[in-house]
Chains A and B, each alone.
Chain A
Amino acid sequence: MSNHRSRPHATGEGLRREFFLLQHIQACREAFQYLRMNSVIAVTGVAMMAIAIALPALMYVVVQNQRALLKEWGDKPSLTIFLQQNLDEPAAIDLLERFATDPSTTAIRFIHRDDAYAEFSQSSGLDLHAGRHPNPLPHVIILTPKAEVWVVDSGAELKRSLESETAVDLVLADLTWIDRLNAISRLTERSVTLLAVLLTCGGFLIVGNTTRALVDEHHKEIEVLRLVGATNSFIRRPFLYSGIIQGLLAGGAALILVQLIFVALHVPITRVAETYLSDFTISSFTPPEVAVLIALSVALGWCGAWIGTSLNLKTFNN
């Protein structure tokens, strides 16, 4: 018998390239044809896959925004030091200079009791001078220590040290809520990861099932192809392309879904931010993230189709 593997006039690198390209163009064309012929199965599969991708993608963006928010709020936490009410200005300035020279201090600000009083009067609308009351407010120092201070004990030691100063009346450092928010953030991230794994498995099953349905629809065709000498990879190729196309469409649809959700949430989130005097705005995917999402969707489609086709091809005799 002659050489089985030879093809008519297939010699040289150029021809091999042409052969490779033609096979793939043909497979791609067939994939579109398969999907068009089974449009209901394909559309349903793409929609389900899009939702499976959109959910973890949405949560990923939520986590990213949460991180940005935490960074904005928690990057430079500071301590508010209320000095003794009867402490005069020179003594307060002395204390300020001493704190400022401390190596653990990164920033420090002094609020004069008169300035604080004026600001309070303005914001409250009350003129306490009119009632001949003395200024009840103390001098205040806003101290921003180095980040390491928070890492060890959330600043508790520093707070205790400051409170031990006789000139200090009260130190406020309510950072517990930031710790809690950080803990919730970590919990959210872990949940998103687990959810992403679960939904990825779901995505595999969806594409695998759609591919299985496509293979079933083309059972007769596959049988004929096998009889005329088609290899498994030749038979599998159009189905893999259909998986890639589904992945691409599902990735695009997932992006649109996430964007629509963001549009719907933008106004309420901005309002919440405004109540915290923050100019925080929700941000969506960056271009590299879009590329990664699409690439992952395509990979998901390809893998699902590969598994779906391979399992089905095993049901054929020889």
Chain B
Amino acid sequence: MISLNGVSKYYPGGNQGLQDVDLAVETSEFTFITGHSGAGKSTLLRLIALMDRATHGQIFVGGKNLARIPIYEIPYYRRQIGMVFQDHSLLPSRTVYDNVALPLSVIGARRSEIRKRVHAALDKVGLLDREGATPSALSVGEQQRVGIARAVVNRPTILLADEPTGNLDPSLSREILELFHQFNQVGVTVLIATHDHDLLKTAGRRVIELRNGKLISDTGLVT
């Protein structure tokens, strides 16, 4: 599903994001990527989401070489990927409903279809009764759940989450993790970047550790 072959990423100024990383993630796998701050976790997710391009090496997603995807094809590629961020990246001027509906509006889904899917996604994250609220009226945990609903509303095949529990207390973190588990159970490939060691211990899933841009350990596929 996702494979990285000798991938390196250098940023302007000589900063190294990743260094010669080889990695393979199977379809429907649930994987954690961990490491200290600046280890390259976010860089790895950004490369998979094509928010950045690798300096060296090749990345294949669903058999497609990302280096060969032209700029104008990137939006279509991204529609297969759901992304969750630590800061939620919600639009403050829009309601919960509108925020979640965004990926569907972008692809031109019919209004009835949008309504059905948004309600299903909000129901899944337990926020159906808050669809008319703006993000500022929600708690941090609720905002993160809206972010997750937006990430899954388009039924992506891959879900990338960058520190999704970074601002949450342990009980909320477990709730959010449970949501990711549920999506994984229906076949979504999940990659979560986190440095929350408690979360890793309780999850019992594959963990890939990065340090200074290098892959230093991989627990392998956990079934």
- Chain A residues packing against B (C-beta within 8 Å): 1-2, 4-5, 7-10, 15, 18-19, 22-23, 26, 37, 220-221, 223-232, 234, 317-318
Cβ of A228 and Cβ of B51 under 8 Å apart?
no
Which one of A1, A18, A221 lies within 8 Å of B91 (CB-CB)? Answer: A221
Task: Give Cα distance in the complex from A220 to B94, angstroms.
Answer: 13
CA distance A227 to B162 in the complex (A): 13
Q: Are B71 and A318 in contact (CB under 8 A)?
A: yes
The reply to whether A23 and B76 form a contact with Cβ atoms under 8 Å apart is no
Contact between A1 and B80 (Cβ–Cβ < 8 Å)?
A: yes
Is there a chain A Cβ closer than 8 Å to B219's Cβ?
Answer: no
Q: Across the interface, do B150 and A228 meet the contact criterion of CB distance under 8 Å?
A: yes
A22 touches B108 (CB 8 A): yes
Note all chain B residues with C-beta closer than 8 A to A7.
107-109
- Measured between beta carbons, the chain B residues less than 8 angstroms from A15 are 110
A227 adjacent to B64 (CB under 8 Å) = no
A232 to B72, CA, bound (A): 8
Contacting pair B154 A318 (CB below 8 A): no
Expressed in whole angstroms, the minimum distance between the Cβ of A5 and any Cβ of chain B is: 6
Q: Enumerate B90-119 residues with CB–CB distance to A below 8 Å.
A: 90-91, 93, 102-111, 113, 117
Assuming A15-B110, A228-B78, is B71 touching A223 (CB within 8 A)?
A: no
Asked if B52 lies at the interface with its beta carbon under 8 angstroms from chain A, I say yes
Chain B residues whose C-beta falls within 8 Å of the C-beta of A19 in the assembled complex: 108, 110
Known A-B contacts A8-B113, A9-B113; the reply to A228 vs B91 at CB < 8 A is: no
Query: Given the complex, which residues of B lie within 8 Å of A220, measured CB to CB?
Result: 89, 91
Using a CB–CB distance below 8 Å, which chain B residues touch chain A?
Answer: 49-53, 61-64, 71-80, 83, 89-91, 93, 102-111, 113, 117, 150, 154, 157
Chain B residue with the shortest CB-CB distance to A18: B110
Residue pair B71, A224 in contact (C-beta under 8 Å): no
A-B contact pairs, 26 of them (CB 8 A): A1-B61, A1-B62, A1-B157, A2-B157, A4-B76, A4-B80, A8-B110, A9-B110, A15-B110, A22-B108, A23-B108, A220-B89, A221-B91, A224-B89, A226-B75, A226-B78, A227-B83, A228-B78, A228-B150, A229-B77, A231-B72, A231-B76, A232-B72, A234-B75, A317-B52, A318-B51
A229 x B78 contact (CB < 8 A): yes
User: Which 7 residue pairs of A and B lie closest in terms of their CB atoms, listed nearest first?
Assistant: A1-B62, A4-B76, A229-B79, A228-B103, A229-B78, A19-B108, A230-B106
Q: Which of B53, B75, B80, B150 has the most CB of A within 10 A?
A: B75
Residues on the B chain within 8 Å of A221, using CB: 91
- Give Cα A172–Cα B108 distance, bound, in whole angstroms: 78
A-chain residues with CB within 8 Å of residue B75 when the two chains form the complex: 226, 229-232, 234
Q: Please tell me if the beta carbons of B52 and A318 are within 8 angstroms of each other in the complex.
A: yes
B169 to chain A, nearest CB (A): 26
- Residue from A15, A26, A318 having most chain B Cβ neighbours under 10 A: A318
B153 to chain A, nearest CB (A): 9
Contacts of A231 in B (CB 8 A): 72, 75-76, 106
